[in-house]
Chain A
Amino acid sequence: MDKHPDERLPEFAAANGLIHRRELLVGGLLASVAPAIAAQEGLSPPPWTLAPGRPMSGYGMPSEWRKTVQRGFTLPPGRPGTGASRTPLHLLEGTITPNGLHFERHHNGVPDIDPARHQLLIHGLVDRPLTFTLDDLLRYPLQSHIRFIECAGNSGGAAAPNPTQADAGTLHGLVSCAQWTGVPLAVLLQEAGVRSTARWVIAEGADSALLSRSIPLAKCLDDAMIALYQNGEAVRPEQGFPMRLLLPGFQGNTNIKWLRRLRVTDAPAHTKDETSKYSELMPDGRARQFMLEMGPKSVILKPSFGMNMQGRGFYEISGIAWSGAGRVRGVEISADGGRTWAQALLEGPVLPKALTRFRLAWRWDGSPVRLLSRATDEAGSMQPPRSEWVKQYAPGQGYHYNAMQAWDIDTAGKVTNAYT
């Protein structure tokens, strides 16, 4: 006869206390160690129950008690419009990034575009060069898809010889996930009449960098979208208002914001941002160019740097995983530096090219451990150890970093960034 969940030992799936994901269904494990509700501050009712609250507001904001949840960034001197801000991944839950916390990467600032004066031009190797206004596009049948965008330079600091001691948002926060709504690009290209010699589409933004990238035509006819909405509201200025190119699974830089022009060509343009930048130099001096798809990746966010353990006992390990190739098939977690692994629970729905939340119960016995996660995608690709990843590239090259993140926990419960 089964014991009460509180009395029996959980089923372990791997060393150092990783509990089988099936146990989450049983319950009781976490509850058994939940701290008792804090003692009441005396017997008087809290003040917010004794007076009317605030009135309605036009656009709601997060709690005053959570104002410190902010994107992280530094302003390089003399060039405030170039750079990036990062999503505080470790302070968020679920898989959808709030619009005000979506990471930013700008090459010359955020333009304030009057939508009435903006148009999208499609030209080049087409039968009918066309322009579309925002109002035109809003009359098309729209589609919504939950998709991540990850900067190709995300986590690139991990190419450095020593691990940076910083929180997960600082290390990996150039990835965000939203529900994007817009017009499939294939519909517009079809209307323009793509010629048979066409192979590439050069996309250009209306910012003052006129940022420009060459996109394979096959991608444009596959799942590319002109995104007009982000999590139900108009795409934010930092994300390309009034319209951006969404290329699910492709490196973030190709998802051109403030999209104003698509030129269909038979060859790539070799723009600055696909030669000088966003290309991957290898040890032999040659560089990979147009390596566009983001690889499988996962990061444990709980616990992670800055979240020290509160004594031995039960914890939930949780984090996010994603892949530019499609769905995450599985995430494994190790608490012994990669010798034994347990399958984490994937929180559904598991969507292609979207962040997926993983969870696993864990009983920490207070000894030093190294926590690792590794994602496998539906194409069968698995995250490499860092030592394998760095061998592929020249020293200091940090694009497309997708190696496993390791967190070391010492006997005091302090969490630090570690290399494998």
Chain B
Amino acid sequence: MRTPESRALVVVVLGLLGSLPVLADGPGLGKAADPAVVRMMDLTILPDGKDLPPGRGTVAEGKQIYEIKCLACHGVGGQGQPMDRLTGGVGSLATPAPVKTVNSYWPYATSLFDYIRRAMPLTTPQTLRSDEVYALVAYILSIDGVVKPDAALDAMSLPAVKMPNREGFLNWWENPRR
């Protein structure tokens, strides 16, 4: 069970931990992580985008890559089948037939970069260069006008993209409305 009291307690405990220089109740068998290993393994992009890699990609480049590497699973223009639909459905979420796609549902464009880079294409994940990932994100977003047809995305412009459903999610962990 999660109560406001227990959360407050965790915050207090964390405060204490933060103030202690060394604390090791366990055997302390972890080895200091090599910063190069951390850089190689850390593929996570948060909404702030500050870990986005150098690179740049345009809508036009993305369309070319999409048609070679993505279309077989996600359909023409991201319309889906056999795998997930990526485009369309913007404005449908509150209707009796909601269509959840990247453009209608996802709150952050950074999540799309993160996901494509780590997991796509399904049969050859982690093979796309950063430029290609930026380009694919730009292309998919452009299909519903989230970015302009001549847009180019990079580490600066990608986190600034405002997704149509940016305000649509309620953080149930921090504020359950039961």
**Which of B17, B27, B33, B111 contacts A129 (CB under 8 A)?**
B33
Check B107 for interface membership: any CB of A closer than 8 A. Answer: yes
Would A121 and B33 be within 8 Å (CB), given that A260-B41, A395-B98 are in contact?
A: yes
B106 surroundings in chain A (CB, below 8 A): 272, 275-276
Within 8 A of B (CB), among A259-318: 260-261, 263, 265, 267-272, 275-276, 279-281, 283-293
Secondary structure of the B contact surface, majority rule = loop
| Known contacts A140-B26, A217-B10, A267-B46; A281/B93 CB under 8 A | yes
Whether A394 contacts B98 by the Cβ 8 Å rule is yes
Contact call A204/B33, Cβ cutoff below 8 A: no
A285 touches B98 (CB 8 A): yes
Contact pick for B169, options A132, A141, A196, A287, CB 8 Å:
A287
A270, B44: Cβ atoms closer than 8 Å: no
B68 within 8 A of A: no
* A276-B26 in contact (CB<8A): no
Task: Enumerate chain B residues within 8 angstroms of A325, measured Cβ to Cβ.
Answer: 1
Task: Give the complex CA separation of A218 and B110 in angstroms.
Answer: 25
Query: Of A218, A260, A275, A396, which is within 8 A of B6 by CB?
Result: A218
User: Which chain B residues numbered 89 to 142 have a C-beta less than 8 Å away from chain A?
Assistant: 93-98, 100, 102, 105-108, 110-112, 114-115, 118-119, 122, 125-126
A147 contacts which chain B residues (CB < 8 A)?
Answer: none
Contact check, A131 vs B115: say whether CB atoms are below 8 A apart.
no
> Which of B6, B30, B46 is close to A130, meaning CB atoms less than 8 Å apart?
B30
Interface membership of A69, Cβ < 8 A: no
Chain A residues lying within 8 Å of B29, measured Cβ to Cβ, are 132, 136-137, 139-140
Q: Which residues of B contact A128 (CB under 8 A)?
A: 30, 32
Interface residues of B, count at CB 8 A: 70
A286→B30 contact, CB < 8 A: no
When A218-B10, A276-B105, A379-B1 are in contact, do A291 and B172 touch as well, CB less than 8 Å? yes
Indicate if the CB atoms of B172 and A284 lie closer than 8 Å. no
CB distance from B56 to the nearest CB of A (A): 23
Interface 1/0 per residue, B69-87 and A, CB below 8 Å:
0000100000000111000
Residue contact B173 to A269, C-beta cutoff 8 Å: no
Give the most central of A79, A202, A218, A265: most B CB within 10 Å. A218
Interface centre among B17, B22, B112, B173 (most CB of A within 10 A): B173
Q: How far is the CA of A270 from the CA of B43 in the complex (A)?
A: 13
Interface residue count on the A side (C-beta < 8 Å) = 77
A325 to B10, CA, bound (A): 18
A398 to chain B, nearest CB (A): 12
- Judge if A188 is at the interface, Cβ distance under 8 Å: yes
Which of B19, B37, B110, B172 is the one whose CB lies under 8 Å from A196? B19
Report whether A187 and B26 are in contact in the complex, using a CB–CB cutoff of 8 Å: yes
Q: Does A123 contact B (CB under 8 A)?
A: yes
Expressed in whole angstroms, the Cα–Cα distance for A140 and B25 within the complex equals 11
**Which residues of A sit under 8 angstroms from B6, Cβ to Cβ?**
218
B-contacting residues of A (Cβ < 8 Å)?
Answer: 76-79, 81-82, 107-108, 121-123, 128-132, 136-137, 139-141, 183, 187-188, 190-198, 202, 204, 208-212, 216-218, 221-222, 260-261, 263, 265, 267-272, 275-276, 279-281, 283-293, 325-326, 379, 394-396
- Give 18 A-B pairs besides A137-B29, A289-B172 with Cβ atoms closer than 8 angstroms: A121-B33, A136-B30, A190-B17, A191-B25, A191-B30, A193-B22, A196-B15, A209-B119, A263-B42, A263-B44, A267-B46, A269-B47, A272-B115, A276-B105, A281-B93, A284-B94, A286-B93, A291-B176
